[in-house]
Amino acid sequence: MINEIGWCGAVAPPKVGDRTQIVVEADQVADTDVTVLIQGESGVGKEIVARRLHERSSRSAAPFVKVNCAALPDKLLESELFGYEQGAFTGALGRKIGKFEVADGGTLFLDEIGEMTPALQAKLLHVLQDHSFARLGGNREVRVDVRVLCATHRPLEDMVQAGSFREDLFYRLNVVNIVVPPLRERPADLPLLIETFLNRYSAQYEKPRPEISPELRRALERYSFPGNVRELENFLRRLVVLQDEKFILRELGAAARSRAAMGVVGGKAAIGISDTASSKSVASVGPAPIPWTVESFRFNFPRAGI
């Protein structure tokens, strides 16, 4: 029964070139307090990796707090992270603690860190360096003990070169870099993902578990999944709800034809765009990324956003 994020099976002694070495490296990262930058396209499972790092750490009994930096305007994001004092702005009728304080003793996961404005980046850098901050409208320093994990689908290295992301913050975040590859680059993960989603949604909707025909399996294997694991999940959810394999086959065919007509390869336009968020220069600007496969994890899909 899959009820937590954990490794599949026992961990064997490390082997060079074998995925057990990846397991060992990731476990070594999990139980430290270093910041980790998780990169990859939208929908590949970056939050799953972040939750895994938290749950295998000494902070696992403390809160895991997620903040989506792309979901809030700059000012709201600042108050969400750092909180505010009564009277800090119109409508601030009382003190509110921010996510850094909520996560004290645990882990703060900053999703889509590349969307953060330079001014807020500077404040985040201060917290990472000094482990303290002041709430909006306040003067008292608040000290926190928080491990910060960050994720992005954007190429932060290019943003540093363009001046839209602070270089000092990038190096502060990029102590360890984990790149989650797109689903099209890890076809061996498809069978486990298919089984997981079919079992999950059959139980959730109290529907018979559909059997995947050879024709549908071939169609899934051929499809590039520009939306990655999230897109696969949606196809299989509809399959469970509708109990109509031919409908899913038509959807897959229509999606493939549409992307071919637009000149799309995988999740990117075919002209001039790199496939992987950190394909250019991760090795040149920071530590070597740790490879990742779905086989290394057990999933908690209801809690971990894909």
How far apart, in whole angstroms, are the C-alpha atoms of residue 167 and residue 300? 34
| Range list of H helices, the chain | 19-30, 46-55, 74-82, 99-102, 118-130, 156-162, 167-173, 190-205, 214-222, 228-242, 245-261, 282-285
Q: What 3-state class would DSSP assign to 5? A: coil
| Cβ-based neighbour number of residue 34 at 10 Å | 12
Instruction: Specify the residue for token string 């990038």.
Output: 170
**How far apart, in Å, are the Cα atoms of 72 and each of 111, 242, 285?**
12, 35, 29
pLDDT of residue 265: 52
Which CATH number applies to 19-181+276-296? 3.40.50.300
Quick one: what percent of the chain has pLDDT higher than 70?
Answer: 77
Whether domain 184-269 has CATH 1.10.540: no
pLDDT (tens digit per residue) in 92-117: 888 899 999 999 999 999 999 999 99
3-state secondary structure of 89: coil
The pair phi, psi for residue 235, each rounded to 5°, is -60, -45
- Over residues 202-214, mean pLDDT: 95
Between strands 268-269 and 264-265, the pairing is antiparallel
Residue 262 has pLDDT above 70, yes or no: yes
- Other CB atoms closer than 10 Å to residue 83's CB: what's the count? 23
> What is the tens place of the pLDDT at every residue in 240-257?
999 999 999 999 999 888
Whole-structure pTM value: 0.75
pLDDT tens by residue, 164-189: 999 999 999 999 888 888 888 888 88
Residues with Cβ within 8 Å of residue 28, at least 6 apart in sequence: none
What's the pLDDT at 75? 84
pLDDT in tens, 59-77: 999 999 999 999 999 889 9
Q: For residue 155, which amino acid is it?
A: P
Number of CB atoms found within 10 A of residue 10's CB: 7
In terms of Cα–Cα distance, which of 186, 178, 110, 179 is closest to 150?
Answer: 110
Q: Quick one: DSSP state of residue 265?
A: E
| Rounded Cα gap, residues 295 and 124, in angstroms | 34
Distances (CA, A) of 168 to 130, 163, 266: 14, 11, 32
Rounded-to-integer distance, Cα 70 and Cα 47, Å: 15
Res. 281: pLDDT tops 60: no
CATH 3.40.50.300 residue ranges of the chain are 19-181+276-296
Beta strands 107-111 and 64-68, pairing class = parallel
The pLDDT of residue 251 is 93
Q: Check whether 52 has a pLDDT greater than 70.
A: yes
Question: Band of the pLDDT at 27, cuts 50, 70, 90?
Answer: confident
For residue 25, what pLDDT is reported?
57
Residues of the chain with CATH 1.10.8: 184-269
Give the tokens for residue 153: 């689908």
